[in-house]
Amino acid sequence: MKITLLVVGKTEDKYLLEGMEKYLNRLKHYISFNLVVIPELKNTKNLTEAQQKTKEAESIMKQLNNADQVVLLDEKGKKYTSVSFSNYLNKQMIGSVQHLVFIIGGPYGFHESIYARANSSLSLSDMTFSHQMVRLFFIEQLYRAFSILKGEPYHHE
Ligand SMILES: C[S@@+](CC[C@H](N)C(=O)[O-])C[C@H]1O[C@@H](n2cnc3c(N)ncnc32)[C@H](O)[C@@H]1O
């Protein structure tokens, strides 16, 4: 199985880039992982929030194949503990899933067509995080999940 994390917009903040790099470097020892950045829309001044979400959705859909298992990062999604998330990943790996795609929305969240395409959703908290910060938190949780599956000492309950 390979995992893709699809995000909208480049990260400019150094503190986030450094954190992401740290966990991406660790994660690559466990799984084939790809971070795909969909470029942020330019000249959005004349676009409504709904129009921006529609355009983002078109770019997201272009990245997806029919067989992909798509999981949206969404504050209203399903909640896991780190251990239950590691079990979820294990199930996907031993099941028939070839490509697991997690998606973090843009500043306004997801268009309804993306909700309709998704197979499931995942909440990191009831709180709303910036779409930039979520990528760091999620990559750390992915790394943590694989370290749990490997029985390595990173995670302490
Ligand atoms: C600023 S939030 C968008 C908030 C928007 N009001 C909504 O309804 O989704 C940007 C993106 O960050 C992600 N996100 C923010 N908080 C999250 C959380 N607690 N759990 C999972 N993903 C979250 C989601 O992918 C969301 O689309």
Which of 11, 56, 131 most suits a substitution to test ligand 1, by most atoms within 8 Å of the C-beta?
Answer: 131
Is 128 annotated in some ligand binding site? yes
What's the one-letter identity of residue 55? K
Residue 157 in this model has a pLDDT that exceeds 80: no
pLDDT of residue 46: 86
Q: What is the pLDDT of residues 19-70, one digit of tens each?
A: 999 999 999 999 999 999 998 887 788 889 899 999 999 999 999 999 999 9
Percent of the chain whose predicted confidence (pLDDT) is above 70? 99
SS3 (DSSP) at 83: helix
Residue 17 in this model has a pLDDT that exceeds 80: yes
Query: What ipTM, to 2 d.p.?
Result: 0.97
Contact between 24 and 141 under an 8 Å Cβ cutoff? The reply is no
Tokens describing residue 156: 């302490």
Domains and CATH numbers, the chain: 2-38+52-146 (3.40.1280.10)
- Give the pocket of ligand 1 (CB within 6 Å): 73-75, 104-105, 107-110, 123-125, 127-131, 134
Is 147 annotated in some ligand binding site? no
Mean pLDDT throughout 4-30?
Answer: 95
pLDDT of residue 29: 94
Indicate yes or no: pTM above 0.90.
Answer: yes
Q: What is the pLDDT of residues 108-130, one digit of tens each?
A: 999 999 999 999 999 999 999 99
Give the residue from 125, 112, 135, 140 showing the smallest Cα distance to 8.
135
pLDDT of residue 100: 98
Sheet holding 120-123, edge to edge: 32-38, 2-8, 99-104, 69-79, 120-123
Is 129 annotated in some ligand binding site? yes
